[in-house]
Every structure is written in structure tokens, then in C-alpha cells.
């Protein structure tokens, strides 16, 4: 009992600000207001006009300070969800464990949360310490102490262009250090996903994790097993699309966290060329992220799991299974194994299968089949995947480039390319060889019935 009391006191001591918050002006934090979402600013202005406090918080502030483009913007306020919702034409309250408001402006959603209170002994947790319900509202100072890392406990006031920093997060951010607020062991037990976030932020910032923050992760890695699979999928997708995906995978392996997320990664990397194929795929993903382009989760997971699918496909073909049927069986078995841990959404699973199945159709196709393939919604993704396989020397690069040129061509050029392809295919047939014809199906003989007298 005494040991726990001391531990709680030390946790509160670390969480408490040393001498009040720092208030940093624009020349110290470097945020250009022109890079801030006008809709996020609008939410702050509306709340301020009603007498509430409102700040842009979280990842947006972090990214703006280090010169990255934020993916989205969140607002924190002392107004409750029921006070926020009537102030906006399109707003809805969401969440049970953590209730907040989504304020909608066309395609952009500004997530608006109420300041959270400090943790209490009567909060709802499971047997591992994970918080199940968190709707106790408090002050801005308490809210800052509840945030996970110092670099995420920053509040940007877009009206005065000032950053409020309770835990010296700007200094950690500029030094590229990921540091937990409070006792890391307790904070990871409250929400095991924080372990994944620590690795992602360190990779994204090309920084390091504070030793005290890093120390408990390996020991607590098994707690990931108790996080809902849908939430794990979201966090895994963030890891793989942060712009440093391969670094994240290697850190996951080192910390032992991959067993609760991507349990097949060890098997994939053990396959011949497996790690190199994944590295190529993730390097392409990183390049798209850095260029501000969209990334397809279907393509990403199709690439991660392809080596296992391909190996099983070849094995089934060698045992006498027809190629198309063999590929379906291989895909189904690999997806089933992975989704026991990770809730890959059904629509992504369907797209992954389409990308895989089309790989078998790139060989020995006639003109009619090519035109049908061009009509498939995942045709371009399948061609990109073929290019990836060519880069990994699985297929002929000339063949892969022909399909890419076909995908990029207009309708008339496609017709010419397909006609030329067919002529080359006919010309490659040995001299004197005759084209094999499929036997025509004979119609079933109909029985003649004699009408009864």
C-alpha cells in the first residue's frame, strides 16, 4: 500500500508543471498562421465568442512547429459536448469511452474535445489498468497532464498566435525527444496504444525515445493483445503511412510489439526476398506520403502479405491445383491468419484479393480478356503491384512496363497496343503449329416424351 502511494505521488510530481506553463510567442514557436486550417480557427473563434476557451491541440501543433503539414486539426475547449454541438450547423457528438464532437465543414472534420480531468481512483478500468471510460471534464492544466507525451501537450491560440506549453514539450520537440508525461508504466497500462505512438513519433521525427519512456515497452508489449482489433488496425495504418514505415516495423520487432499487430512479419522476413520486397513496397509508400499523395491501405497490406500468398500459391499449383483456384485458396488462408490479430476491413480485404488475383491474369491473355481487365476498378493498382514485383525481379520488367504503358494510354492507343500484342503472340507460335481449339459443347439430348392417351 505504501509503495503504491509513493508511486502515485511520484507520478503526480512528474505530471505537475514545474513553474506554470510557458507562453511562447510566434518568434519562439515558429508557427505560421497561414498554414493553420481556417475551419479550426473558425471553431476557436465561435467558442471564444460564446465565452469559452478554445485552442488547437495535439499533432497539428506538433507538426506545424517542426515544419510538417498536419493531416488534420483538433480543438480542445472548456465547453462540454452538449454546449459545443448547438453552436455549429453540422456537429455531432461521438464516442462512449471518450466523448467528443465532430464539427463538419464540407470534407474537413474538426474534432473538438473537452478538457479532461486528472485520473481518479474510481475511474473505469479493466484488470490490466486500461481506461474504459474517460468523460470526467476538468481544467486545461489537468488536460495537459492527461496527454501522453510532452510534444503532444501543446495548445496553440490562433487568435493571439501563442503556444501554451505546460511540460516543456517545445524543447523536447526541437531536440526530437519523445518523453512520456507521468509514470510511463502506468500511462502504458492506461492505454497500451501509447507504446505504438511512441515508436511512430520517434520514427516520424527522426528522433529518439527518452530512456525512461522506452524502458517499460518490451515488458508491457503483451498488453497490446487487449486493445480492440479495429483500433489496432487504425494505429497500424498510421505506423505504415507516417513516412518512415520500415523504421517503424523494425522498431516494432525490437520492442516485441509486432506480435500483437503483424504476427506474420517474422515469417515474411524469413522468406527468401521477403524483407527486401516489403522494404521496396514501403519505400514507395514513404515516397507517396512525403509527396503529399494518397496511400491505399489495400495496396499496402497486399504488398506486406504477398510473399506468403505467392509461396502458398506456387505450392498449391505444384500439387496439381488449377492456378486460379490455387491463388484463391492461398489468399484466403493468409488473410484469415492475419485478421485474427488485425481487423482489416472487409472492403480492404476484397481489394487486396482483386490485386492478387489479377497477377495471374497478366500472362497469356487474349485481346478480349485484356479489354475486360481494363474495366476492372483495381486494374491500375494491380499494374502498380506488377511493377513492384518486377522491381523485386519476380516478373519480367519489359512485360510489367507494357502493362503500365497500357494503363496510361488513351483508348485509341490501347487498341493499337493490344492489336500489336496479339500479332506478336501469334508470331511467336512455332512454324507449322496449329491453334488449339476448345472442343465445342454438344447440347444435351432432350428426351422425347410421348403424350399419354
The residues annotated as belonging to the active site are 72, 74, 148
161 burial level (CB within 10 Å; 0-12, 13-18, 19+) = middle
Q: Say how far apart CA 156 and CA 162 lie, in whole Å.
A: 6
Q: Say how far apart CA 221 and CA 193 lie, in whole Å.
A: 10
Report helix, strand or coil for 261. coil
CA-wise closest residue to 357 among 336, 343, 376 = 376
Residue in the block written with cell 488513351 = 410
Q: Are strands 177-178 and 91-94 parallel, antiparallel or unpaired?
A: unpaired
Q: Say how far apart CA 342 and CA 257 lie, in whole Å.
A: 13
User: Beta partners for 142?
Assistant: none
Cell numbers representing residue 132 in the block: 474504459
The helix/strand count (H/E) of the chain reads as: 22, 12
Classify the C-alpha dihedral 118-119-121-124 as positive or negative. Answer: positive
Residue in the block written with cell 481518479 = 120
CB 110 within 8 A of CB 74: yes
**CB contact set of 256 (below 8 Å; sequence gap of 6+):** 218, 221
Q: Say how far apart CA 28 and CA 150 lie, in whole Å.
A: 17
Q: Say how far apart CA 112 and CA 91 lie, in whole Å.
A: 10
CA-wise closest residue to 350 among 329, 370, 362, 335 = 335
**C-alpha R_g of the chain:** 28
**CB contact set of 28 (below 8 Å; sequence gap of 6+):** 163, 170
CB 99 within 8 A of CB 79: no
Amino acid at each position: 500500500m505504501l509503495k503504491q502511494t509513493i508511486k502515485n505521488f511520484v507520478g503526480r510530481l512528474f505530471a505537475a508543471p514545474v513553474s506554470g506553463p510557458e507562453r511562447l510567442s510566434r518568434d519562439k514557436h515558429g508557427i505560421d498562421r497561414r498554414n493553420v486550417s481556417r475551419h479550426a480557427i473558425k471553431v476557436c473563434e465561435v467558442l471564444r465568442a460564446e465565452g469559452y476557451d478554445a485552442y488547437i491541440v495535439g499533432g497539428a501543433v506538433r507538426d506545424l512547429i517542426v515544419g510538417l503539414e498536419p493531416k488534420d486539426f483538433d480543438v480542445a475547449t472548456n465547453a462540454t459536448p452538449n454546449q459545443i454541438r448547438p453552436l455549429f450547423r453540422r456537429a455531432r457528438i461521438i464516442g462512449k469511452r471518450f466523448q467528443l464532437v465532430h464539427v463538419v465543414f464540407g470534407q474537413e472534420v474538426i474534432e473538438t474535445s473537452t478538457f479532461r480531468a486528472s485520473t481518479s481512483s474510481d475511474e473505469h478500468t479493466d484488470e490490466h489498468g486500461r481506461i474504459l471510460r474517460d468523460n470526467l471534464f476538468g481544467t486545461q492544466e489537468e488536460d495537459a497532464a492527461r496527454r501522453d507525451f510532452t510534444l503532444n501537450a501543446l495548445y496553440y491560440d490562433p487568435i493571439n498566435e501563442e503556444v501554451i506549453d505546460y511540460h516543456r514539450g517545445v524543447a523536447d520537440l526541437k531536440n526530437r525527444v519523445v518523453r512520456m508525461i507521468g509514470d510511463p508504466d502506468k500511462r502504458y497500462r492506461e492505454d497500451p496504444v501509447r507504446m505504438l505512438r511512441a515508436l511512430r513519433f520517434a520514427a516520424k521525427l527522426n528522433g529518439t525515445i527518452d530512456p525512461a519512456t522506452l524502458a517499460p515497452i518490451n515488458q508491457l508489449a503483451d498488453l497490446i493483445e487487449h486493445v480492440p482489433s479495429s483500433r489496432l488496425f487504425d494505429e497500424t495504418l498510421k505506423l505504415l503511412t507516417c513516412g518512415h514505415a520500415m523504421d517503424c516495423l523494425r522498431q516494432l520487432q525490437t520492442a516485441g510489439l509486432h506480435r500483437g499487430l503483424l504476427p506474420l512479419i517474422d515469417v515474411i522476413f524469413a522468406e527468401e526476398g521477403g524483407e527486401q520486397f516489403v522494404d521496396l513496397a514501403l519505400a514507395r509508400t514513404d515516397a507517396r506520403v512525403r509527396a503529399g499523395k494518397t496511400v491505399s491501405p489495400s495496396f499496402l497490406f497486399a504488398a506486406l502479405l504477398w510473399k506468403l500468398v505467392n509461396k502458398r500459391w506456387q505450392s498449391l499449383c505444384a500439387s496439381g491445383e488449377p492456378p486460379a483456384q490455387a491463388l484463391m485458396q492461398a489468399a484466403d488462408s493468409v488473410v484469415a491468419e492475419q485478421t485474427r490479430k488485425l481487423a482489416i476491413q472487409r472492403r480492404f480485404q476484397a481489394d487486396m484479393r482483386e490485386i492478387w488475383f489479377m497477377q495471374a491474369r497478366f500472362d497469356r491473355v487474349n485481346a478480349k480478356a485484356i479489354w475486360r481487365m481494363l474495366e476492372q476498378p483495381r486494374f491500375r493498382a494491380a499494374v502498380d503491384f506488377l511493377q513492384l514485383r518486377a522491381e523485386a525481379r519476380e516478373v519480367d520488367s519489359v512485360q510489367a512496363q507494357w502493362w503500365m504503358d497500357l494503363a496510361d494510354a488513351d483508348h485509341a492507343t490501347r487498341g493499337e497496343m493490344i492489336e500489336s500484342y496479339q500479332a506478336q503472340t501469334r508470331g511467336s507460335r512455332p512454324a507449322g503449329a496449329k491453334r488449339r481449339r476448345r472442343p465445342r459443347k454438344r447440347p444435351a439430348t432432350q428426351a422425347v416424351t410421348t403424350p399419354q392417351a
